[in-house]
Structure 1
Amino acid sequence: MSIRVVLADDQALVRAGIEMLLSAEPGIEVVAAVPDGAEAVRAVAVLRPDVAVLDVRMPVLDGVEATRRIVESRAESSALPAVLVLTTFNLDAAVYAALSAGASGFMLKDAAPTDLAQAVRALAVGKGWLDPDVTQSVIERFSSRPSGPAHRDPRLDTLTAREREVLLCLTRGLSNAEIASELFIGEGTVKTHVNHVLDKLGVRDRVQAVVFAYEAHLVG
C-alpha cells in the first residue's frame, strides 16, 4: 500500500518539483498539492493521508498553525498524519515552533531528493526525522530557551530509571546503537525501552520525545 502524502507550499515551482520528486518514488503517492496551510488542513481532513509535508512560511495559514490544527485533530482520529515541515533556513525560529506544535520532523529545502523520500517513509511508520545537518542546532535551540516557571509533568513519574536514561540519551541525538554502547545493553533492548518511553509519554516519535523532555525541564 502506498504512503499517501498531502503537500503544501506557496511557491508553485517548488511545490511542483517536490510533488514530482515524491511521486517518482515507489510506494509514495501525493494525493494533494496545495498552496497554503488552510488548504492543507482541509485536504488532511478529507483525504486522511499518512504524512503531511508543509512549508513553514505560507500565506493564509502558515506551517506552524497548520501543524497545530492537524495535530489537535488527532484527538478525533488516530489516522491523521505525521507532519514534516520544510524550511529554507536551518535557524528559522518557526521550525522550533512547528516542532513544539507537534511536527514529527523537519528538513531543509536544499536536502537531497533521496533524503526527502526517506523522511516521508520514516514518518509514515511512526519515526521522527531531523535534518542530519542541523539536528544539533535543534537540540541547542531547545536547551537554550528560558526555562520559565517550574512544571513537573506527571508523565515523567511513569518512566523507570532506565527509561529516563534512554530519554536523556535521545535528547543528545544518540542512535540506538550509540545508546546501547553507552548504557551497556543490546540494541534490541534499547528499541524496547524507546517504544515504552513513547507509549508512556503519549508521543508519536523520538523527535516529540525530545521536545517533551525540554518542555518538562528534564534537561536544559
Structure 2
Amino acid sequence: MKIFEFAYFGLASLLVLLGGLATVAARNPIRGAMGLLTSIVGIAGLYLMLSAEFLAAIQILVYAGAVVILFLFVIMLLGPSATSPRDARTAVPRYVGAGVFAASSIGALALVASAAKPGARVVPEAPEALGTIEALGHELFTKGIVPFELSGALLLVAVIGAVAVARGKQVDPTLLPAGAGSPDGRDQVPVRDAATPDPQPGALTGHFTLSTKEPKS
C-alpha cells in the first residue's frame, strides 16, 4: 500500500471513529447530527477506496443529504433542548445491556483473532462489475428487495412518529394566561375579552370617574 493510500485510509477511518464518538457522546442533538454527518463522509471515503463510486455517491446523497437533514428537521420541531424525562428505574437494564454488548464484542474479537491463521493471504481480485450501478441494482432488487422495502417502511414510521411527538410537544400560545411564558412577568401581554370591541383610532382608553361636586375655591 502506498503512502498516499495509507494516509487516505487513516483519514477516512479517523473521520468515521470521531464522528461515531461525537454522535454517541454529544449532549447537544445538533452536534450529534454533525458527528453523524462526519461519520457518513468517512464511510463514503472508504467506499471510494473499494472502487465503489456509486455507493459513495449514494452515501453522500441519501444519508448526508436526506437522513441528516431529516434528523435536523426533527430537532427543529422538538427543540434542541428537548430531553426525555429521567427514570431511574431504567438505569439497571441499560447498564446490563451495555455489559452484554461489551462482552459480545470482546468475544467476537477473540473468535476472529483465534480463527486468523498466521501468514499472508492472497485476496482475490474484485470482479469488474463491483460497485457499478448494474450490479448494485441487480443485487438490490433481486436478493435484497425485502430488506430494501422494510427499510423504506421503517423510515416512514420514523417520520410519522417524529411528527406525532412534535405535535404533542407544542402548546397553543392563545390558551396560555398572560405572563405564563416568563416567571417574572416581563413578557406579560394584556388579555382582552373577545366580546369587547376594539377602540377607535385616537380614542382615549381607560377608566374615568364623573363627579358632580363643585371645586373648592
TM-score range, shorter chain: under 0.3
TM-score normalized with structure 1 length: 0.18
* Larger proportion of helix: 2
* Larger proportion of strand: 1
Higher relative contact order, structure no. (Cα contacts within 8 Å, ≥ 6 residues apart): 1
